[in-house]
Amino acid sequence: MPASDRTTWDFLADTYWYVTYPDLPALKFSASDNVLSWTGDQTVWHISGYKNGYFWGVSSALMFDPESSSRTQSPNQRSLVGTVTANGQVQISFIGNKRFQETVTGFGHMSKLEEQWVFQMQMATSSDNPTLHWANMMQTTKADPSWHKLPGVNCSVEDMLEGASYPQFDDK
């Protein structure tokens, strides 16, 4: 793929991405007592737009107890703005819509997995109890079973994104 071609990733506009089963575990660290624990992390992205190596949309993450099938939280929604270089290096900022909510940065790259493009990503929160997670974010569509029932959580892509606030360009 030519290193100067920014149109390589045009297909990202209006796509949806999620975490598959093998990549649901995330590692939590409690700084107050120096304890590690596992949590589940299902994250959905809707990349609503793409242009010239930049993309934007929304992210919705739901942390869950991997030992339980019941969900106890609502999804945490954020705006996402990212870049992807011509050779597939990715950086995404997940910006909270609530006051004083930290911005989380993810790094990764685009890879081919079984002939399908995936975002292979890593992220870490910077709170007192950070969570670290890496995953292959796979694309999903309304025709896929994952659209209606996401792995690890009992909800659909539409449930995860309900009420999301999308970033928009200023009309000025």
- Judge contact between 131 and 125, C-beta under 8 A: yes
pLDDT in tens, the chain (172 residues): 444 578 889 999 999 999 999 999 999 999 889 999 999 999 999 999 999 999 999 999 999 988 775 556 789 999 999 999 999 999 999 998 777 788 999 999 999 999 999 999 999 987 778 999 999 999 999 999 999 999 999 899 999 999 999 999 988 7
**CA distances from residue 9 to 85, 116, 118, 151, 171 in whole angstroms, order as listed:** 9, 13, 12, 26, 25
Residue type at 129 in one-letter notation: N
Instruction: Report H helices in the chain.
Output: 145-148, 157-161
Question: Where are the domains positioned within the chain?
Answer: 10-161
Q: Which residues contact 59 (CB under 8 A, 6 or more apart)?
A: 43, 44, 45, 77, 78, 79, 80, 94
CATH for 10-161, options being 1.10.10, 2.60.120, 3.90.79, 2.40.160: 2.40.160
pLDDT in the model for residue 140:
98
pTM: 0.92
pLDDT in the model for residue 65:
87
pLDDT in the model for residue 71:
59
- DSSP, res 22: G
